Every structure is written in C-alpha cells, then in structure tokens.
Amino acid sequence: MVTGILIVIVIGAVVGAVAGIIMGRSMSLLGCIACGIVGSALGGFIAQKLGMSGGLVMALVFDLIGACIVIFIVNLIFGRRR
C-alpha cells in the first residue's frame, strides 16, 4: 500500500517536472507532484476515451499529455509566470 503511494508520488513528480519544462513553467516539488498526479488521471481518461491502452510507455505519454493540459489550464487561470 505505502509502496504504491510512493510510486505514484515519484512518477507524478517526474511527469510534472517534465511537463513544466515542456510548457516553460517552473513549479515547486509539491506543484510538480500535484500536476503529475492530476495530469496522469486526465491522461488516463483521454487514453480510455480514445481506446488507446497498452504498456508503460503509452501510459507515460498520456500522463505527460495530461500534465501539459493541466499546466495550460493553470496558465489560463492564473497567468503565465516563470
């Protein structure tokens, strides 16, 4: 149980950090984790609706796409800052 939560946090942090680099937004560690976890949920939803599932690489790609969408929405709401 605890191991699964730690894995979600670590993957969320990495996905959030990479999405932040792609989108040009610097975030704290907590921001990266939150963005990565929410983006992973959004990416999983998008992949499911498109009927695209399969493998770790595909999941990470959709996690990254979801995190980029989350950052885009955050930039729209709060404005872009570096």
> Which phi and psi angles does 58 have, rounded to 5°?
-65, -40
Q: Which residue has the higher pLDDT, 37 or 54?
A: 37
Looking at residue 51, what DSSP letter applies?
T
Q: What is the total count of domains within the chain?
A: 1
Q: What's the pTM value of the predicted model, to 2 decimals?
A: 0.88
pLDDT digits (tens, 9 = 90+) for 19-45: 999 998 888 999 999 999 999 999 999
Structural domain boundaries, residue 58? 2-78
- From residue 31, alpha-carbon distances to 2, 19, 51, 54 in Å are 21, 11, 29, 28
User: Whole-angstrom Cα distance, residue 36 to residue 38?
Assistant: 6
pLDDT digits (tens, 9 = 90+) for 9-23: 999 999 999 999 999
**pLDDT for residue 17:** 94
